[in-house]
A and B are shown apart, each in its own frame.
Chain A
């Protein structure tokens, strides 16, 4: 059998090639692929920040459920256990060690870091003013605070700097550890060495934290009841992966079991059951290879989601197996159903191909994935599967499954008004829907459960880690330019702080001044002899004893010759903070300056524009993500509309008759309307994922409609065809119905939409589309060959 050898040979070769390509595939999981290609620099920077930025290294910990002094003890014990571990860059809990690194760095480098280091400050007049102020401070109630530092720092640079470095402040501490305002929670802030997207490393860090907590709890009497809460980007990443894994594993096992049960009942052959997976498996493999070749990488979402999109290819095998009559070779069945199957597959391909033109790389990948996947799955069904089917195979159990629907079909004339009524009610409900169809809350798309989001907000609030919304961003060609421009930006922002339009801000130059500024500050410091001479003159009328300020002279002399600070000079906590604001990105440097407590966003935006700083933009994160979501929704609607239009054109070309197109398209439109009405009941809103679900209803449902629309040559064949559709639909409804049980929005939304929509399509198409061929209520006669007296016009001759 050369045809058989050729088909299987080609298939095997293709599998080997695809496996080769897939093995080399670069898998990416960052979200930038799901940003529009046209996204603004601000959006790209911010998205990258979320997944890679310094903030992604943060884990916030809260310990509660014990009296404050026990919580403090647990906090201290945990910090001591975690600090030596290389997985953590920094562990802060409010004790001295939490600030030691930063305080020491700021102290040692106070003259290059402080904006107070100016030539004026070190003149006789400047020094006299500083000393007079010091004298006043010594007599005041804060005298105790400054006394120790005064001989080294008479110009008070440390105080200026500590006020400026807001990050060095934490929440209230009690007995040397941070506690929430109500004393119910001890707080820790952990910086992991690994970024938030490195999920394995984050999981390891969480395990170490859990161990440290258990160790501390066991070591401290009375701490048994204490509980630990963790939050942060890495924690969310780990939890999401766990939930996804758990949901996906559990639900796909259940779905597989349900589908396998149904198919086993229908086929009564394990071999055929497994063969049924061949088209979808081959399709997925080829699709991954194609995306890898076309885009250079495959996104994690494409991989997981693409298989859902080509799920209908499981149906291809069902159509072939179930419609094969007893004693017929598979080739005979194929010859009969192939034109319908081909048109059905083409419909889906055309529908999904609209995604190819998406501005979102992720969508485009999904488009290519589904196109290639479906073509390959259809080809495998057509050319490879018949050769592998056991001779004489016959789906003995399928007939029973078809009975209820056959009953519906036989009453279809009476049921048509009911369908019309249901669709009308649905359409009216949609027309009367209030408050917009779109879910505008981005957090509903998030896979993070609401309770975890609440814990996150609470701990952030307690720790004073602001949930930042406003930023000033710009991009430069090199690092020094970025630092210089952030110094000009700081000057503009400072005036806004004075005007109380802004509570505060962070810029990278506060942590690492530009080389130019560092040099200028160094040269503002007088040489040792000049300084001593001026200083003696300045303190002439003040009661300071001579010799008191020798440490000051030493420190100034050292600062004058100290090497310039670079990123490498920074302690870990400050380096992380710098990295969150100054990001090396491709061919440039992005500066992202967080603005705190913005009281007048419009005024701040206008002031930033008016300052004419080159390329500096004011970013409102909430508005940007709203805009992004809006773009997503617009594009999804547009693509779905284009896809639907393309499907109509294709149906017209394939069926060559407007009446037949109407017969096929009506149930699809009807079920989308009714599904949308059901999903938006009680003024609910549609998520972006549901639109994808609508596309899937059309893709999967069009196959049903095309088969219903076929004019089979006899009632038995048609019954068999109905049985195959019912079997396919039962598998789809059970798989997607189980998916809708997931707590992950994307799985839930698509699952519920497709389960409802395809089931409605099945019913509607049975009632509306079924043609007036001699249908008999003879499900039990399946297997007998009975020719209808009517001639079949569109029947293809057997080969």
Chain B
């Protein structure tokens, strides 16, 4: 393993210029007696464009482009555009995932206390928010991966709600 560590992992991740994957997300919400399961596709283009297209149970599109978020096709059938900074509860979360994808350690450090465990083929990043705005909503985020692929994103909200998104990357992506 030698000098494998956070900087090395981040460098590896930074080399990924584009990726696409299938996801299945399972949310446990304290208000609900049954978990909510959604699935769809993820797209990423370095360094800051992310797309989450939910297919089931209802189609919805979430696009992050730089600082700008666009949500389309939600229950109200309208397009909402807003700045990440306006909604810290979404902003911090999205920023954590984006920064991991981009291998942007500086951005991660800005929002989170970062802890790495495991080895290159099976690593886990534990992100604990620093920002008080974000600690009101998110307890921690755990991103698991193998080499330069992310396979799972787990989120624990302050109110005990939990979300687990497992990711299966499409083969043949430009690396």
Contact = CB atoms under 8 A, between A and B. Distances in A.
A499 interface: no
A138 interface: yes
Contacts of B161: 147
Given A137-B74, A145-B90, A543 B34 contact: yes
B171 interface: no
A151 B161 CA distance: 14
Given A144-B93, A172-B85, A138 B32 contact: yes
B54 A173 contact: no
A38 interface: no
A600 interface: no
Contact of B85 (A139, A142, A174): A174
A140 B29 CA distance: 12
A151 B71 contact: no
B74 A145 contact: no
Interface in B1-38: 27, 29-34, 36, 38
Given A136-B75, A139-B27, A543 B58 contact: no
Nearest to B93: A144
A548 B71 contact: no
A137 B52 CA distance: 15
A175 B134 CA distance: 12
B83 interface: yes
Interface string A536-558: 00000001110010000000000
Given A138-B36, A139-B57, A147-B161, A548 B31 contact: yes
B60 A545 contact: no
A147 B29 CA distance: 9
A141 interface: yes
Nearest to A138: B29
Interface residues of B, number: 30
Nearest to A174: B85
A133 interface: yes
Contacts of A543: 32-34
B75 A144 contact: no
A45 interface: no
B123 interface: no
A145 B89 contact: yes
B31 A141 contact: no
B36 to A, nearest CB: 4
Interface string B73-103: 0110000100101110110010000000000
A541 B171 CA distance: 41
A137 to B, nearest CB: 5
B90 A545 contact: no
Contacts of A147: 29, 31, 157, 159, 161
A143 interface: yes
Contacts of B57: 139
A545 B33 CA distance: 6
B62 interface: yes
A139 B89 contact: no
A150 interface: yes
B74 A142 contact: yes
A141 B80 CA distance: 11
Contact of A173 (B34, B74, B85): B85
The interface size bin for chain A is 20 to 34
A282 B80 CA distance: 70
B137 interface: yes
B51 to A, nearest CB: 11
Interface string A132-166: 01011111111111011011000000000000000
B126 to A, nearest CB: 20
A543 B30 CA distance: 11
B27 A137 contact: no
A548 to B, nearest CB: 5
Nearest to B158: A148
A543 B57 CA distance: 15
A147 B75 CA distance: 15
A761 B170 CA distance: 92
Interface in A120-142: 133, 135-142
A376 B56 CA distance: 92
Given A139-B57, A147-B159, A544 B75 contact: no
Interface string B143-175: 000000000000001010100000000000000
A174 B74 CA distance: 26
Given A141-B52, A147-B161, A544-B33, A133 B90 contact: no
A142 B137 CA distance: 13
A546 to B, nearest CB: 9
Contact of B54 (A140, A145, A174): A140
A541 to B, nearest CB: 12
Which interface residue of B57, B75, B86 has the most chain A CB atoms within 10 A? B75
Contacts of A140: 38, 54, 58, 60, 71, 74-75
Interface of B: 27, 29-34, 36, 38, 52, 54, 57-58, 60, 62, 71, 74-75, 80, 83, 85-87, 89-90, 93, 137, 157, 159, 161
Interface of A: 133, 135-145, 147-148, 150-151, 172-176, 543-545, 548
11 contacts: A135-B36, A137-B74, A138-B29, A139-B38, A141-B71, A142-B71, A144-B137, A145-B90, A147-B157, A175-B85, A545-B31
Given A141-B52, A141-B74, 5 more contacts: A137-B74, A141-B54, A141-B71, A142-B71, A142-B90
